[in-house]
Structure 1
Amino acid sequence: MTRVQPIPVNLITGFLGVGKTTAIRHLLVNHPEGEKWAVLVNEFGEVGVDGALLAQQDVVVQEVTGGCLCCVAAPAFTTGLNRLIRRHRPDRILIEPSGLGHPAQVLQTLGGPLYADVLDVRATVCLVDARHLSSSPHVEHPTFQDQIHLADVLIANKADLYTDHDIGAFEQFAAGLSPAKCRVAVVERGTIDPDWLDISRSSERQAAFPEAHAFLVESGATAEADATAGTQDWLMIEGRGDGYHRVGWMIHQHAACAAADLQRLLAGLDMERKKGIFFTERGWLALNQDDWSRVDLPDDGISRLELIDRRPLPAVAIDRQLRMLLVP
C-alpha cells in the first residue's frame, strides 16, 4: 500500500495592513502547474473579505472568521483544516492568520501529534512594513514581536513606499535577530519567491511573549461581536478585542453603485485595516487599504467591507453614508 505523503503547510503572518493577502495572491498565481493549493484564512472581523478576494484564484479557500486562530476561533481552525484535508487533499496549504493573531499556538497545533503524519510544517513567512519599526504601538505589541520571532523568513513588503532610511533600519533590525532568519528580503507588492516556502522550519525559534496567548484567550472570550443592523440584504457587525475595534458589512446590492463616489467616501477613512469588495458600474472592484483593483464576481455575489482600528469606529455614520451610495 502506497504511503500518503504529508502535505506541506506554511504559515504566512504579519500585522494588520502589511499585505499578506496580496502576497498570497501572488503565490497562488505562481504556484506550480498541476498542483492543487489550498488557503485557510482567518480574519479578526466577521465578514470574510480576505476569503472573497482569494477565492478569485483557482484554489480551495476555507475561512475562519471572528477571532484569532489561537484563541476564540481555535476549534473552528482545526475543523476548517480537517475539512480542507479530507475533502480536497491539496498539494500545499497556506495558512493566513489574522494580523492580530499570535502564531505560537497555531504552530504548536500544526506540529503536534494530531497532524504528525498528515502535515509537513515548512517555513513560517512573516511580512512587515519597515515603517512600523519606528512606531511604538507596533514594536511594543507582543503579537507583532512574536510574529517576527517565530518566522523563518522575514520580508519587508511595500518597498516602493520606503525611504533609504526605512530599508537601512529594517536591515539593521533583521541582522540583530537571534536565531538568524533563514532568509531576509525586501519586496514590492507581496512578490514572495515560491521557493522560500520550502525552507525548513526551525524548532529553535521561540515566542518571546508566550503569555500573550493567555491574554488573547481572555480578550477573545469576552470580545463583542454583535449584528447591530441586520436584514436579509444588509448586515452590519461590530466587535472589539485585543485593543482593536472592528466593523464589517455584508450587502446584497440590487444595483451597481458609482465607483467614484464610493472611492471618495472610503478614501476619507483613516483605518489600520480597510478592505472590501463592491459591485459598481465598472464591474466588481476590490479595495485593499487605498488600492483598488478589478476582480471577478464573488461566488455569493455579496459586497463586503471591513474596517479595523485602535480607535472607536463611527460605525453608524459610515453605515448611513454607505446606504446613501449602495441602496437604490
Structure 2
Amino acid sequence: MSRTEPAHRDIPVNLVTGFLGVGKTTTIRAVLAQRPQDERWAVLVNEFGEIGVDGGLLADTGVRTEEIPGGCLCCVSAQMFTVGLNRLIRQQQPDRILIEPTGLGHPAEIIRTLTAPPYDTALDLRATVTVMDARHLASPRHREHPNWNDQIAVADVLIANKADAWSEADREALHAFVAGLPAPRPRVIETREGHIDAALLDAARLEHGGALFPEARAYLSANADDGHDHGHDHDHGHEHEHDHAPASDTGDWVVIDNRGDGFVGRSWRFPTSTVFDHAALEALIREQDADRLKGVLQTERGWQQINRVERDGGLEALATPPDTTPPRLELIRAESGDRGGREELEALNAVDRALRRAARLPADD
C-alpha cells in the first residue's frame, strides 16, 4: 500500500464548518454524545492559532482527536492535513470522521480534496454541516467575508445556532436569507447550544453545480500571486513567519502570534503545573471584547474551560482532562487597521501581562 493510500475504505466523513464563535465545537460535542456505543468515531480539528484549543475542549468525549493548528486546513494540499487524516484512518480505523476546519478556513477546498484521489475511494463524504448565528446577518464584516460566504455555499445542512439569543428581527432576517439562497437550498435547523439530531450527518448531499464558491475562488485568485498563502502570515512549507512573543522569564510558556483573513490571534500553551488565580482570571476574561477567546486552564478551583464570543461567556468547570492535555488559551480579534499593528500588539501584550499576574509570575515589561 502506498503512503498516500488510506488503509480503510468507505468511512463516513462529515465537515462541520462555520465562522468564528458560532458553536462548531459545541455542536460536535452534542453529536458525539449520540454516537452508537459500538462505533469508534474520530475528530480532525483545525484551528487558526498555532496552539490548538478545541482538542482540549473535546478531551472528555472519549473520542480520538487529531489537531492541526495554524490554519493549515484552508490549504488542504498542506502535508499536515493528509498526515493527520491518514494517521486517524490508520491508527483508529474509525467508523466515522468529523472534520472541524478553522472558522477562517475555506471548506470548498477541503471538499475538493476529500472527493479526489486517493480519498474518493476511501472515504464516503456525507452531509456538510454549516453552523451559523443569525445575528451575523446584520454584520457587514461577516456578510462580506469570502470565508463566511463559502461556508454557507457548501452547506447541506445549515444549523442556525444560538437561537435563544436572537431578536425577532434576527429570526426574520434568517428566514429572508434562506429564502434568497439558490436552489437546492440546505435543510435549516434552528437550535441552541448546538443541539441537533446526529441523523442529520447522513442527510443527502446537495448538487450545488459547477458555479460553486465564487467568493472563495475570487479570494484565492486574488492571493495567487502571494505564493498561495490565502492571506495568512505563514508559508505552507511550515517555515512559519508568525511573530513569537518575548519568551524571557516565561519558563515553558509557548506564545505564538498569527494573522490572516482580517484577524489577528495569539495562542498560549502553559506547563501542566500552571495554576491560575480564579478571581484574577475571571476579571481578565470579563475585560476582553475579542471576537473569540477559548481555552482549557487550571485554577485553584480545578480545571476550567473558556468559550467566549465577543463579550459573552466566561469560566466553566471542566472535568479533569487527560494528562496529555496541557493548559492552553487562544484569543482572536479583528484587525484594527492601525499602521504596523502596534495597537493590536499592545493589546495582546496586555493580555499576556495579565495572564502572568494571574499565574503569579513576574510581569514582562
Quickly name the TM-score band, shorter chain normalised. Answer: over 0.9
Change (3 A) 1:89 1:67: same
Q: Is the 8 A contact 1:102 1:213 kept in 2?
A: no
Output the TM-score relative to the length of structure 2. Answer: 0.84
| RMSD over equivalenced CA pairs, Å | 2.0
Q: 2:169 aligns with which of 142, 145, 165?
A: 165
The yes-or-no answer on 1:320 pairing with 2:343 is no
What is the SS of the residue equivalent to 1:220? coil
2:246 equivalent in structure 1: 229
The yes-or-no answer on 1:14 pairing with 2:18 is yes
What is the CA–CA distance in structure 1 between the aligned matches of 2:283 and 2:173, rounded to whole Å? 34
What is the SS of the residue equivalent to 1:56? helix
Residue identity in the other structure for 2:302:
G
Residue identity in the other structure for 2:316:
S
1:188 equivalent in structure 2: 192
Once the two structures are superposed, the pairs formed by residues 115-194 of structure 1 within 5 Å of their partners are 115-194=119-198
Q: 1:292 aligns with which of 304, 310, 315?
A: 315
Q: Is the 8 A contact 2:278 2:299 kept in 1?
A: yes
Q: Is the 8 A contact 1:251 1:304 kept in 2?
A: yes
- What is the CA-CA distance between 1:5 and the residue it aligns to? 4.9
Give ranges in structure 1 of 5+ residues lacking alignment: none
- What is the CA-CA distance between 1:138 and the residue it aligns to? 0.4
Q: 1:107 aligns with which of 103, 108, 111?
A: 111
Q: 1:309 aligns with which of 291, 315, 333?
A: 333
What is the SS of the residue equivalent to 1:116? helix
The yes-or-no answer on 1:207 pairing with 2:207 is no
2:68 equivalent in structure 1: 64
- For 1:260-287, what per-residue CA distance to the aligned partner results, in whole angstroms no more than 9, with x for missing partners? 2211111111011110111112210000
Q: 2:97 aligns with which of 88, 93, 99?
A: 93
What is the CA–CA distance in structure 2 between the aligned matches of 1:94 and 1:218, rounded to whole Å? 24
Q: 2:232 aligns with which of 206, 212, 220?
A: 220
What is the CA–CA distance in structure 2 between the aligned matches of 1:109 and 1:116, rounded to whole Å? 8
What is the SS of the residue equivalent to 1:151? coil
What is the CA–CA distance in structure 2 between the aligned matches of 1:218 and 1:145, rounded to whole Å? 15
What is the SS of the residue equivalent to 2:315? strand
What is the CA–CA distance in structure 1 between the aligned matches of 2:80 and 2:360, rounded to whole Å? 34
Residue identity in the other structure for 1:46:
E
- For 1:72-113, what per-residue CA distance to the aligned partner results, in whole angstroms no more than 9, with x for missing partners? 873211110011001111010000000000111100000112
What is the SS of the residue equivalent to 1:93? strand
What is the CA–CA distance in structure 2 between the aligned matches of 1:197 and 1:301, rounded to whole Å? 28
Return structure 1 stretches of 4+ with deviation > 6 angstroms: none
- What is the CA-CA distance between 1:203 and the residue it aligns to? 3.3
What is the CA–CA distance in structure 2 between the aligned matches of 1:240 and 1:322, rounded to whole Å? 21
Output the TM-score relative to the length of structure 1. Answer: 0.94
What is the CA–CA distance in structure 2 between the aligned matches of 1:285 and 1:99, rounded to whole Å? 23
- What is the CA-CA distance between 1:52 and the residue it aligns to? 1.0
Give ranges in structure 2 of 5+ residues lacking alignment: 1-7, 236-240, 336-343
- What is the CA-CA distance between 1:237 and the residue it aligns to? 0.9
The yes-or-no answer on 1:45 pairing with 2:49 is yes
What is the CA–CA distance in structure 1 between the aligned matches of 2:266 and 2:295, rounded to whole Å? 12
